[in-house]
């Protein structure tokens, strides 16, 4: 895999093809829109989603932990897609084996009782100001802070000859914020248009490529 290392507010962030961001100075792993439980939710209503997709999220999470060995994991919202289902048991097992501190910034899909997270030692907050960064689920601008967020599931559309086009998930950065791609293996994307000084880091073939 080929990552991109960028500098924001004198802090070094590593953009990984899995969709995670590793903040080097604070040893924090930032992850957005995992949507655990979504596969089980859709399978319950008859969608033909392979069972293997459930385990894929946990495999990639574990690979990221092995690679970066973070002190803290911060989920930028929509960790779970909806109410409790059997994927919560897998999540509990994963948490108990994870040495890092875990934070969850609540997203619109995070409807599971905070007590369930507290019982696992996970702190649930609405937002977090950490150093020069404002960590939220929804993208926003706030004076004096650089916003790191999710929610949008950003993607970029690249056009080729004729009517050929390619849609790729991406890290979408402007002067005030960077929106992380959705981490979950079963999530959609929303195409954003690059304007002016926007920076787009697309994910393709296990590489992060600046467009």
On whether the CB atoms of residues 74 and 135 are closer than 8 A, the answer is yes
Each domain of the chain, given as residue ranges in start order, spans: 4-210
The b-or-e profile of 123-159 (16+ CB within 10 A means b, else e) is ebeebeebeebbbbbbbeeeeebbbbbbbbbbbbeee
Spatial contact of 5 and 60, defined as CB atoms under 8 Å apart = no
What residue has token string 């899909």? 109
Helices (H) and strands (E) in the chain, counts: 4, 16
For residue range 127-183, list pLDDT tens digits in order.
999 999 999 999 999 999 999 999 999 999 998 776 778 999 999 999 999 999 999
Q: What pLDDT shows up at residue 45?
A: 47
Q: Any idea what the Cα angle at residue 55 is, between residues 53 and 58, rounded to 5°? A: 120
Helical segments of 69-209, H only = 87-96, 114-118
> Which of the following CATH numbers is that of domain 4-210: 3.60.21, 3.30.1230, 3.30.1380, 3.30.1370?
3.60.21
Which residues sit opposite 199 in a β-bridge? Answer: 173
Query: What is the model's pTM?
Result: 0.91
Separation in Å, CA 134 to CA 30, 141, 143, 211: 12, 9, 10, 25
* Per-residue pLDDT tens listing for the chain (211 residues): 899 999 999 999 999 999 999 999 999 999 999 988 765 544 454 554 556 777 888 899 999 999 999 999 999 999 986 656 688 899 999 999 999 999 999 998 788 999 999 999 999 999 999 999 999 999 999 999 999 999 999 999 998 776 778 999 999 999 999 999 999 876 789 999 999 999 999 999 999 999 9
**Ranges of H-type helices in 32-149:** 38-44, 52-68, 87-96, 114-118
């Amino acid at each position: 895999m080929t990552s991109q290392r960028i500098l924001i507010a004198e802090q070094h962030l590593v953009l990984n093809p899995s969709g995670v961001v590793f903040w080097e100075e604070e040893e924090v792993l930032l992850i957005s829109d995992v949507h655990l439980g979504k596969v089980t939710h859709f399978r319950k209503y008859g969608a033909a989603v392979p069972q293997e997709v459930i385990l894929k999220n946990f495999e990639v999470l574990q690979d990221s932990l092995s690679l970066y060995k973070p002190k803290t994991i911060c989920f930028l919202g929509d960790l779970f897609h909806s109410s409790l289902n059997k994927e919560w048991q897998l999540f509990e097992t994963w948490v108990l084996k994870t040495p890092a501190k875990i934070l969850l910034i609540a997203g619109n899909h995070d409807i599971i009782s905070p007590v369930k997270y507290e019982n696992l030692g996970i702190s649930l907050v609405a937002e977090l100001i950490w150093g020069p960064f404002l960590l939220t689920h929804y993208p926003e601008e706030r004076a004096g802070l650089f916003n790191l967020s999710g929610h949008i599931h950003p993607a970029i559309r690249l056009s080729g000859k004729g009517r050929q086009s390619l849609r790729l998930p991406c890290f979408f950065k402007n002067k005030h914020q960077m929106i992380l791609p959705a981490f979950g293996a079963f999530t959609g994307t929303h195409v954003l248009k690059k304007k002016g000084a926007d920076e787009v880091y697309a994910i393709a073939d296990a590489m992060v490529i600046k467009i």
